[in-house]
Structure 1
Amino acid sequence: MSLHVSRHPLVLHKLSQLRDKRQPPVVVRNLVTELTLMLVYEAVSDFQLINAGEQQTPIGPYDHVRIGTRVAVVPIMRAGTGMLEGVLGMLPGAKVHHLGIFREQATLQPVEYYNKLPQTVEVDVCIVLDPMIATAGTAVAAVNTIKDWGCKRIKFLSLCAARPGLERLQEAHPDIEIYVSQVDDNLSEDGYVMPGLGDIGDRLFNTD
C-alpha cells in the first residue's frame, strides 16, 4: 500500500493542537517535531537490520544490531526544514540534502530555486519532508528531481494533505510511499488545504 494515513490517537490529538491558530511559533515547532517523530517511526518499519557484532549488557553478551539501510532526508525548503529535527532525532546518521521549491502564487506552479543533491547517489532511500500536500505541484516536482538524480526508493512524509493533491501525487508517482497524519477533503480557491494548518511556514518561522 503506497498511502499510509495515521489512525493513532496521539497523532490525531497532536495534529488537532497544531491546527489551532492561537498556538505560538514555539508550540508549533514542538508539535511539528513530535508529529514527525511519530510518522518516521512508521515510515522506517521496513528498514533493514544488520548484525553489528557482540556487545555486553551489565549482565552478559548480546548480538548488537543497527539499521543498515542508507538514508537521505530531503526537506523541501522552507517549511520542510521544520520537520528535520524529528527525523534526525530518530535517524541521527542520515544524510541531509535540501531542495528549495516554492509555489508561484499567481499560477500555483512549482519553481525550483535550490538543489543540494550531491553528484552521486550513495543512499538506499530518500525521505522527503513537506508538512503540507495541497495541490501537490511542489511534491510532484520534488519527487521528479529526486528520481532524475537517481534515487528510486522514496518515502514522502507530510503532516496534512488535501485529497485532490494526494490523488495527483499518487497518479504521478504510484511507486512512492506516502505517510500522512491526516487527509482533508478540500482545497481553497488559492490552493490551501481546508481546514488544514494555514501557512505552516509562516507559523513555524514567525513570519507573515
Structure 2
Amino acid sequence: MEGVTVVDHPLVQHKLTLIRDKSISTKSFRELLKEIGMLLCYEVTRDLPLTEVEVETPLARMQSAKIAGKKLVFVPVLRAGVTFVDGMLDLVPTARVAHIGLYREPQTFTAVEYFFKAPSDLHERLAVVVTPVLATGNSAVAAVDRLKERGAKDIRMVCMIAAPEGVERVRGLHPDVTMWTAAIDEGLDDDAFIVPGLGDAGDRAYGTR
C-alpha cells in the first residue's frame, strides 16, 4: 500500500510471532512489546535530517552528524501504547511524549477521547503516533485529528499489526501521514478484532483480560 512500510526485518518478524502466542505471560508480552517498539522506532526514524557539528575525540577534532532541529514527540495511544513507546524512548531518550487516551465504544466502535496532553510546540516537531494495534482505524484517525488541531504538521504512525480496513481508513482521511507496521493481517471479525491478530493488546500487556 502506498505510504505504508511493512518492516520485514527478521528480528521484528521473530518477535512478532512470539508475541502473537496466546500462551505467553503478561510479563513476556510487555517485554516483547517494548522490544518491537524499539526495532520499529529504528525504521520510522531512518530518514531524520542530520546536521554537521564539531566534536573533539581523544585524538582529534572532527565534523560529525547529529539530528537537526527540534527532537521528536512520541504520541502513544493509551493503554498499550505506553509500553510500546518505552522501547522507543530507550532509543531516543531526548524525545518528548504526548499522551492521548482513547477507548473504543463497544457498540459503534467509534473512538471516545478521555485524555490529551502534549507539548506546546507540536508544530515544530515530528509527531509519531504509537498504537500497537490498528484495527478499524477510528482511534488512530481521532489521534491524528487531535494532533492537527493542536498544530502538528509532520505526523507519522507506527503500529505492530494492522488490518487492511484500518490502513485504508487512516490513509484515506490522512494521506499525508506515512505508516510503519510489522504486519498487515487478513482483516477484522464481527467484533472488530484483527484476525489472526494477537487479541486485545492492552488486556494482554496489563493482565486485565
| TM-score class, shorter | over 0.9
* Alpha-carbon distance, 1:48 to partner: 1.3
Kept in 2, the 8 Å contact 1:54–1:63? The answer is yes
Return the alpha-carbon distance in structure 2 between the equivalents of residues 118 and 85 of structure 1: 18
Compute the RMSD of aligned alpha carbons: 1.4
SS in 2 for 1:175: coil
Q: Does 1:25 align with 2:26?
A: yes
- Partner deviation per Cα, 1:142-193 (whole Å, 9 max, x = no partner): 0011111111111101000011111111101111110000000210101100
Which amino acid in 1 is paired with 2:5?
H
Q: Does 1:198 align with 2:199?
A: yes
Figure out how many residues of one structure are paired with residues of the other and give that number: 207
Aligned equivalent of 2:6? 5
Aligned equivalent of 2:150? 149
Aligned equivalent of 1:131? 132
* Alpha-carbon distance, 1:119 to partner: 4.0
* Alpha-carbon distance, 1:120 to partner: 4.1
Aligned equivalent of 2:182? 181
SS in 1 for 2:156: strand
Kept in 2, the 8 Å contact 1:72–1:123? The answer is no
Q: With the length of structure 2 as denominator, give the TM-score of the two structures.
A: 0.94
- Which structure 1 residue ranges, 5 or more long, are not aligned? none
Q: Does 1:101 align with 2:97?
A: no
- Partner deviation per Cα, 1:59-111 (whole Å, 9 max, x = no partner): 43332432124211111111110111111111110111100011011110000
| Identical residues among aligned pairs (%) | 36
Return the alpha-carbon distance in structure 2 between the equivalents of residues 120 and 63 of structure 1: 29
Return the alpha-carbon distance in structure 1 between the equivalents of residues 89 and 208 of structure 2: 25
Return the alpha-carbon distance in structure 1 between the equivalents of residues 40 and 144 of structure 2: 19
Q: With the length of structure 1 as denominator, give the TM-score of the two structures.
A: 0.95
Distance 1:147 1:122, change over 3 A: closer
